[in-house]
Homo-oligomer: A and B are copies of this chain.
Amino acid sequence: MTDLGPGGEFDRLRSVFSRLAFRVTGVGDDAALVTVDDVGLAISCDLAVENQHFRLGWLMPREIGWRAGAAALSDLAAVAAEPLGILTAVGVPEGREGTFLEELMEGVADAGTSVGAVVWGGDLVRAAQVTVDVTVVGRAPRPVRRSGAQAGDGLWVTGRLGAPRAAVEAWELGHAPSGGLRERFAHPTPRVREAAWLRDQGATAMIDVSDGVIGDAGHVAAASGVRVRIDAEHVPVHEAVGGEASGEAGKARSGDVSLLLALGGGEEYELLVTLPDGFGAAEAHMFADQFGLPLTRIGEIEDGAGVTVMRNGSPFPVTGGYSHF
């Protein structure tokens, strides 16, 4: 779905949407929020293309489908919508119309089933690259937007970060990522139930971590008209990220490099959420108990604009930001 924030791709989409002006509505959150005959709906699409978002050597067909489905469903989670249906448009090269295609589409359907959505339809064409566009529709009577964060709110994130990007780096260096990293890339979980719980706890703004924590914090800051302060020492790094060999001749990653991956990695499909200051450790424990997933306070909303990253009270240099990873 459309992201409106930093980055060349977003600038381009924003420019196109801005030229379309009066004919565009609903844009600005992870999913478009629209109302049809008083029913609030969230709808989003996510296009994944071979060699751009994945390589055939990295994933099984079922994983390609799951990942594409989960990415789209995560957009529904980000606005606390309840997934209902999926449309899957697939392009496959000659020779991949059999088992490959069936397994890919079963992967999409599996991702839907995991959060209560069924397949409503699709399209199938020939293409030079494996191409999967997943459109998801959900019920959104009480959506959480990006625009509601207020000074004083806490900034929280679900799960542990950095693994998907570390997996890609491993593949690109020609070695297989560890099981934990691979699983996070191949089998992300759309945080649909977690999002509903967070909404019911009073979440003021929410977004899924698809562009990296810093990038997505920037989207929240822009939409809410606030500054987001990230306290880097609290950012939860996935345990397998540090253990994985880095690009420097197999040397284990330093803590700083791991942290940068966690801050900028992207495609995590965890939730970045702002909650009133009254939401604290006790509530985070309830979340962890219920979902088997950490919920970590990593910063605070302040008056101002943009994103500042601190570590132990001093500015933490993130040169160039997430887009340079």
Contacts and interface: CB of A to CB of B under 8 A. Distances in A.
Interface in A100-128: 101-102, 105-106, 109, 112-113, 118-128
A27 interface: yes
Chain A, interface size category, equals: 35 or more
Interface in A23-74: 23-27, 31-32, 34, 36-37, 39, 41, 43-49, 51-53
A7 B113 CA distance: 29
Contacts of A135: 43, 45, 87, 89, 133, 135
Given A36-B41, A43-B85, A87-B43, A49 B118 contact: no
Contacts of A89: 45-47, 133, 135
Interface stretch (A8-16, A155-163, A193-201, A246-254): A8-16
Contacts of A131: 47, 49, 91, 127, 131
Task: List the number of copies, as a whole number.
Answer: 2
A82 B211 CA distance: 35
A184 to B, nearest CB: 21
A49 B126 contact: yes
Residue among A26, A47, A119 with max Cβ neighbours from chain B (10 Å) = A47
Given A17-B119, A25-B118, A85-B32, A49 B125 contact: yes
Given A26-B121, A89-B135, 20 more contacts: A1-B121, A2-B121, A12-B98, A19-B102, A19-B106, A20-B106, A20-B109, A23-B113, A32-B85, A32-B120, A36-B41, A43-B85, A43-B135, A44-B87, A45-B87, A47-B124, A47-B133, A127-B129, A131-B131, A133-B135
10 contacts: A15-B102, A16-B101, A23-B112, A25-B85, A27-B121, A32-B85, A34-B85, A43-B137, A128-B128, A128-B129
